[in-house]
Amino acid sequence: MSYEIAVIPGDGIGSEVVECSMPVVEAAANACGVSFETTLYDWGSERYLEKGMMMPDDGLDELREYDAIFLGAVGHPDVPDHVTLRGLRLEITKGFKQHVCKRPTYLFEGVTSPLRNYADGDIDFVVYRQNTEGEYADVGGREYQGFENEVAIQSALYTREGTESIVRAAFAAAAEREGRLTSITKSNAQAHGMVFWDDIVTEVHRDYPEVDVERLLVDAASMDFVRRPEEFDVIVASNLFGDILTDLGAGISGSMGLAPSTNIDPTGEYPSMFEPVHGSAFDIMGEGIANPIGTVLSWELLWDHLDEQAVARALRTAVANQLAETSAPRTPDIGGDSGTEQVANDLRARIE
Ligand code: NAI
Ligand code: MG
């Protein structure tokens, strides 16, 4: 069987890391006898500046038939962030019911954590972030713009389908891993949506009695990410909290450039989308020094999702071996002086 994968490199370092990672991914698939074809889409901010839209009107119909989608990142200095994000990534995640954003955080051997006394896999947890609603729902409005009585309303939205999907995915993962789940909310202050969330956790827990559930408020959880990250295993959180906590997770495990992400439709009705956690990184774009590893690890998660475990393993092993070997090429974000391409070439050579 041959897989069809849509690739949207996007903006800034998004396109740099995607381009450099493709030969690595091809080498891994070849080595495992898996064949796949990619179709490139030039959707993103350049297109917006030219045509007024990040992607075409019928973009979702176009993507619908692929086995999976790979996205670099979006974000451009000349386009407001809410336009780039809403016009492409949120359009796809919401349209394709990709309720589940799974983001592993792992401190690889050979990578230095800013936390003292952590090394070699001491930090190893997975965040399940609700990906289609919550605080990122497009619900609200502005009135009396520019007047003294100006008002802005931004409402969070929690549906049973969206909440239950993410909570179930997290329980299933916890049952497979160490049997521990941490649900992170702010139910003391958000007494409607997040208490509803808590109720769903209680309900789904009945189906997974073997899983121990810990409940934390997001402020305390942020402190515990720094104070006792080794105690987390599977975490479930709302869209906004999961977004923030996974940047923190990337920080404590060495670099934003190492962090992978997924946008999964748990029903399999629509294709799922894979992407590094990071954005287009205005501060380093065009310099050729972005770390491609978060992207390569996102491809690992794509192949894992398609159940091509050998390809997934080949990518992960190459990354783990490269990072463990401190003389191997590495990008400046993790203390090296190599470029994106050198790191990718070295990964490819390890696989071949
Ligand atoms: P960012 O993730 O692009 O960058 C944050 C910091 O991490 C920067 O200092 C950057 O240099 C560093 N960094 C990120 N990826 C790296 C890599 N692969 N290698 C080395 N260093 C790396 O977040 P920022 O700066 O807040 O946002 C820039 C733009 O990206 C904005 O337009 C934002 O809206 C967009 N964005 C898009 C996302 C997406 O497409 N999924 C996700 C996050 C931000
Ligand atoms: Mg983020």
CATH number, domain containing residue 288: 3.40.718.10
Rounded distance, CA 210 to CA 165, Å? 19
Burial of 277 (0-12, 13-18, 19+ CB in 10 A): buried
Whether 108 is in a domain gets the answer no
Instruction: Summarize pLDDT for 87-120 with one digit per residue, the tens.
Output: 999 999 999 999 999 999 999 999 999 999 999 9
Mean pLDDT of 205-211: 98
Rounded distance, CA 58 to CA 346, Å? 39
Neighbours of ion ligand 2 (CB under 5 A): 243
**Last residue in a domain, options 191, 220, 252:** 252
User: Is 80 exceeded by the pLDDT of residue 186?
Assistant: yes
Mean pLDDT of 65-75: 97
**Residue 89: strand, helix, or coil:** helix
Residues 264 and 222 reside in one and the same domain? no
66 lies in which domain range?
1-97+260-352
pTM: 0.96
Whether 112 is in a domain gets the answer no
Residues 204 and 247 reside in one and the same domain? yes
Give residue 168's pLDDT: 98
Number of domains into which the chain is organized: 2
Residue partners of 233: CB distance under 8 A and separation at least 6 = 124, 125, 126, 174, 177, 178, 179, 180, 181, 182
* DSSP bridge pairs for 40: 7
DSSP string, 215-261: EEEHHHHHHHHHH-GGG--EEEE-HHHHHHHHHHHHHHTT-GGG-EE
**Last residue in a domain, options 188, 217, 252:** 252
Whether 142 is in a domain gets the answer yes
Whether 107 is in a domain gets the answer no
Rounded distance, CA 21 to CA 250, Å? 20
- Angle, CA 93 vertex, CA 270 and CA 105 arms, to 5°: 105
- Ligand 2 centre distance from Cα of residue 65 (Å): 27
Banded pLDDT at 310 (limits 50, 70, 90)? very high
Rounded distance, CA 149 to CA 86, Å? 27
Number of H helices, E strands in the chain: 12, 12
- Mutation test of ligand 1: which of 45, 92, 256 has the most ligand atoms closer than 8 Å to its C-beta? 256
Instruction: Write the single-letter amino acid at 291.
Output: N
Residue nearest to atom 6 of ligand 1 (CA): 281
Residues 240 and 291 reside in one and the same domain? no
Whether 103 is in a domain gets the answer no
- Ligand 2 centre distance from Cα of residue 239 (Å): 10
Banded pLDDT at 293 (limits 50, 70, 90)? very high
Give residue 232's pLDDT: 98
- Mutation test of ligand 1: which of 92, 240, 280 has the most ligand atoms closer than 8 Å to its C-beta? 280
Mean pLDDT of 336-350: 98
Give residue 177's pLDDT: 97
Rounded distance, CA 189 to CA 186, Å? 6
In the chain, % of residues over pLDDT 90 = 99
| Mean per-residue pLDDT of the chain | 97
Mean pLDDT of 322-332: 97
User: Is 80 exceeded by the pLDDT of residue 1?
Assistant: no
Residues 197 and 234 reside in one and the same domain? yes
**Last residue in a domain, options 224, 252, 280:** 252
